[in-house]
Structure 1
Amino acid sequence: MAGHGTEEHPHGADRLCEAGDRVYSRAVRRGRVPRRDAEQVPCLLELALLHPDPDDMDWLVPTSPQEVMTRLLRGVYDEVSASQRRVGSAVAAFEWYAGLGPQQRQASGAEGAAIRVLDGSSRIQGALDAATEACTAEVLTVQPGGIRPEHELTEGLHRALALRGRGVRMRDLYTHVARHGQGLLNYLELMGDSVEARTLDEVIDRLILFDRTVAFIPANADRTLALELRHPALVNYLVTVFERLWRLAIPLTAPLPDTGIEGISHREQSIAALLAEGHQDAVIAERLGISVRTCRAHIARLSETLGAASRTQLGVRIAHVGLDRPRASSSEAAVISVAGVPGVPGAPGGPGMPGVPGQGSPTGL
C-alpha cells in the first residue's frame, strides 16, 4: 500500500492532491475520519497528516495544521535560498486549513501530542532515533522475555553507542533468565560503566524512558504499533514503576540469593510461587521468560524434590514448605507486574516485538 501510494500521490504536505485535500479538510473540520476514508489517499499517512486515534484504531485524527506548518518550515529554513517560494505556499495552505476547525479543537492540539501512535516499524525506529539524538542524561529500559539471540542485541547498538559517546547513563532491567545469554554479557562488556543492569523474576512489558520526559511502550499484541508518551503525569508514573522495580532487582554482577531449601533452585522457587497462585504452565513460562518445555522440566524436578506424585499434592507440599510465600522482593515485584501500568499492553515478561527491528537491543522497542 505504501509503495502504491507513493506512485499515485507524488507530492508534499504543502500541495496535497485533490483527494487528499478533501479527506484532510474533513478530518480537520470534524476532528477525525474513519480509517477506510484514507485508504485511497495513503499520502496522508505517509506525510503524517493523519495518524491513528489512540482511543479507537479504526479512526484517524489529523495532525494540527499549525504543527504541520511548523514541521514544514523547519525543513524549509534548512534550505532557505532554494525554498523561499515554498515557505509562502506552505503558510498560505495551512492557514486556510487552520480556519476550518473550531477554536477549542485547535487549542487542544498541543495536548494531543502528549500521546502519539507510531504505526509501523519505520515510524517506531524514527521516533526512537529522534529521542536518542535528543537525550542528554539518562535512559531507563525494561526488557521482558528470556535469552535473546546476539544478532537481535546488535540491531539497536548504534543508538546505545551514540548515547555512551555523549556520556548518557543507562539502566536496564531484565528477567533472571537473561543472565544466561552470552549476547547480553558481550553487550554489557562493550558498553562498560555507561550501562548498569539488574534482573528480577519477572518484569512489566517493554518500556524505554529518555531523560524522564518521553516514554515508549508497545501498543498492540504483534508489536507493529507503539505509543510515544510525553504527558508528564504518565511519564512520571512509569518512572516511579521503574524505580520501584529497580530497587527490588538484583545487580547482574551479583549472584541470585539461595532459596534456603536444599535442592530447590531460585527459578524453581519462582515457579512454585506462581503454581501456588494457580497459573498454568504456559503463563508461568511467559512471565519468567522461559519456554514451556523448560518450565515443565523445572516443575518435574520440583515434584521429585518435594516427593509429590500429582499436581494437587505438589500444591500442598509447596504450601507446607513455604514456597507459596516468596521473598519480599519477589512478592512486591509480582504485585507491580500483575497490576501493570495503565496503557501498557501485554502480560509481564512477555515476548519481544516480532517484526520490529531493534527489538532485542536495550535501546530498541
Structure 2
Amino acid sequence: MSGRDDSTAGVGTQGTLSAGAHDLYLAVIRTHGRIARKEVAESEYSYLSELLDIGLLVPDTDDPHVLLAADPQQLSSGLSATWQRQALELLARAIAIPGDLQGLADAFHNPDATGGTVEYVRGKAIINQRINHAVASAKEEVLAAQPGGPRPPEVLSQTLAEDIEDLRRGISARTIYHPSTRYHAPTRDYVATLTEAGGRFRTLDEPYTRLIIVDRALAVIPVAEDLNLAAFIHDPAVIHFLTHEVFERNWNRGLDFSGGRTVPQQVVSRMRQTIIDLLLDGTNHRVIARRLGISERTLARHLAEMREDYNVESLFQLGYALARSSRESHQGPANPAAPGGG
C-alpha cells in the first residue's frame, strides 16, 4: 500500500547495471566496441535497452542500426553530476511538501469544513485512507471492534509493521475479533506478535457493530450495512457513549485472545451449537462456513469431532444428543469435553 511513485525505478535510480547488461557491454567491447542491433539475441533485448537508457551504448551517426560502446569513465562523471542534482531536487521537494499541503490537509480533516461533528465519507478507499491517517496520528489510544471473519493474510502482513510501531511509541490498542479468528493461523500469528508488543485482543461470540475510536476524539462506524459509507464522528458526547456503552461493554463480555492455538471451551461450544442450529435450519456447509468466518475444512473437522464426542453417526442424531446434553447440564452433568485446537 505504498504511495511512492515508482516511475523512476531502474538503472538510473540505483546507479548499477544488471548482470546481463554488464555481460552484454563486455561482449560489445570484445567486438571492437561495435554491434549491429540485429546481432543482439531476443533474450538480451532488455539488457540492450538498459545499456541504451544509461548511455553505455549509442547509435552510430553514420548507421543508426549499429551501436557503439561509450566510455564508462566519461559517462560516470556526467551521470553522477546529473543524479546528484536530481537527488537534491527530490530532497528539497520531500522537505517542502508537508508544509505545502498542510493547509489542504487541515481543510480535509477539519469537521467544521467537511460536515460538522458527523461526517459522511463514501468509498472504501477514501474511508480506509482517513482511518489509516487517524490511527497513524493517534497520541494515546486506538480501540477497534472488527466483526466478521479473519482479514486476508496480505492485509495483516501489510499493517503489522505499522501496528508494532504504534505500540512502541506508547499507543494503547485494544481490538475485538470474531471467535473464528482463533482458527486462522495468519491471524493467530499477527495477534501473538502484537500481544508481545503490548496490544490486547479479545473475541466476542455475539453480534456487534464495526467500530474504531481514536484518542476518544474520533469514532468511525459504518452507515447501516453499507461498507462503502462511513460516519466519522467528532461529537464528544456521542464518542463517550460509543466508548463506554458500546465498546467497553463488548470488551468486558469478550474472552482474552493472545494468539495461542488453544481455543476456550466456551468458544468451541457456542460455535458448534451455532453450526448445529444452522444445519437443522437446512443451511449448506459453504454458507455456514462463510457466516462463521471459518474454512469448510475447519467446519468438517468440527462436525467429525462432534460426532465422535457424542458417539453418533448422523447430523440429526447429533442435534438430538446436543439438545439432551443441554438439558442435563442445567441439572448438573457437564457436556463432554471437545477439542478446541486450531
Q: TM-score, normalised by structure 2?
A: 0.51
Q: 1:257 to 1:166 in 2, by over 3 A?
A: closer
Q: Which residue of 1 aligns with 2:172?
A: 169
| Cα deviation, residue 228, structure 1 | 1.6
| Cα distance in 1 between the residues matched to 2:185 and 2:215 | 29
Conserved in 2, the CA contact under 8 Å of 1:146 and 1:288?
A: yes
Count of residue correspondences:
220
Tell me the C-alpha RMSD between the 2 structures: 4.2
Conserved in 2, the CA contact under 8 Å of 1:276 and 1:324?
A: no
Q: 1:271 to 1:205 in 2, by over 3 A?
A: farther
Are 2:132 and 1:129 equivalent residues in the alignment? Answer: yes
Rg bigger for which structure?
2
| Cα deviation, residue 204, structure 1 | 2.4
Q: Which residue of 2 aligns with 1:93?
A: none
| Cα deviation, residue 162, structure 1 | 4.7
Cα deviation 1:6-59 (Å, max 9, x = unaligned): xxxxxxxxxxxxxxxxxxxxxxxxxxxxxxxxxxxxxxxxxxxxxxxxxxxxxx
Q: 1:247 to 1:287 in 2, by over 3 A?
A: farther
Q: Secondary structure at the match of 1:223?
A: strand
| Cα deviation, residue 211, structure 1 | 1.6
Q: Which residue of 2 aligns with 1:244?
A: 249
| Cα distance in 2 between the residues matched to 1:232 and 1:324 | 49
Q: Which residue of 2 aligns with 1:224?
A: 228
| Cα deviation, residue 172, structure 1 | 1.4
Q: Identity across aligned pairs (percent)?
A: 30
| Cα deviation, residue 297, structure 1 | 4.7
Q: 1:322 to 1:189 in 2, by over 3 A?
A: closer
Conserved in 2, the CA contact under 8 Å of 1:177 and 1:288?
A: yes
Q: Secondary structure at the match of 1:167?
A: coil
| Cα deviation, residue 171, structure 1 | 0.8
| Cα deviation, residue 284, structure 1 | 4.7
| Cα deviation, residue 188, structure 1 | 4.1
Partner residue of 1:143 out of 123, 143, 146:
146
Conserved in 2, the CA contact under 8 Å of 1:138 and 1:211?
A: yes
List gaps (5 residues or longer) in structure 2.
Answer: 1-98, 104-111, 331-342
Q: Which residue of 2 aligns with 1:267?
A: 268
Which residue identity does 2:227 align to in structure 1? Answer: R
Cα deviation 1:141-177 (Å, max 9, x = unaligned): 1233344443211333464245224311101122333
Q: Which residue of 2 aligns with 1:321?
A: 325
Q: 1:309 to 1:323 in 2, by over 3 A?
A: farther
Q: 1:232 to 1:79 in 2, by over 3 A?
A: closer
Conserved in 2, the CA contact under 8 Å of 1:268 and 1:299?
A: no
Q: Secondary structure at the match of 1:118?
A: strand
List gaps (5 residues or longer) in structure 1.
Answer: 1-77, 84-108, 260-265, 327-365
Cα deviation 1:284-332 (Å, max 9, x = unaligned): 5345321355435523542453355655543332221018989xxxxxx
Q: Which residue of 2 aligns with 1:210?
A: 214
Q: Secondary structure at the match of 2:227?
A: coil
Q: 1:222 to 1:143 in 2, by over 3 A?
A: same
| Cα distance in 2 between the residues matched to 1:148 and 1:210 | 21
Q: TM-score, normalised by structure 1?
A: 0.48
Conserved in 2, the CA contact under 8 Å of 1:208 and 1:215?
A: yes
| Cα distance in 2 between the residues matched to 1:186 and 1:298 | 22
Which residue identity does 2:127 align to in structure 1? Answer: I
| Cα deviation, residue 276, structure 1 | 4.4
Task: Looking at secondary structure, tell me which structure has more helix per residue.
Answer: 2
Work out which structure has the larger RCO, using CA pairs closer than 8 Å and 6 or more positions apart in sequence.
1
| Cα deviation, residue 252, structure 1 | 2.1
| Cα distance in 2 between the residues matched to 1:148 and 1:79 | 36
| Cα deviation, residue 190, structure 1 | 4.5
Q: 1:319 to 1:79 in 2, by over 3 A?
A: closer
| Cα distance in 2 between the residues matched to 1:203 and 1:116 | 25
Q: 1:182 to 1:302 in 2, by over 3 A?
A: closer
| Cα distance in 1 between the residues matched to 2:209 and 2:328 | 24
Are 2:190 and 1:187 equivalent residues in the alignment? Answer: yes
Map 1:1-365 to 2 at 5 A.
112-157=115-160, 159-188=162-191, 190-191=193-194, 192-202=196-206, 204-219=208-223, 223-239=227-243, 240-253=245-258, 255-258=262-265, 266-273=267-274, 275-276=276-277, 280=283, 284-292=288-296, 294-308=298-312, 311-322=315-326
Conserved in 2, the CA contact under 8 Å of 1:206 and 1:218?
A: yes
Q: 1:79 to 1:317 in 2, by over 3 A?
A: closer
| Cα deviation, residue 110, structure 1 | 8.6
Conserved in 1, the CA contact under 8 Å of 2:168 and 2:197?
A: no
| Cα deviation, residue 212, structure 1 | 2.1
Q: 1:183 to 1:297 in 2, by over 3 A?
A: closer
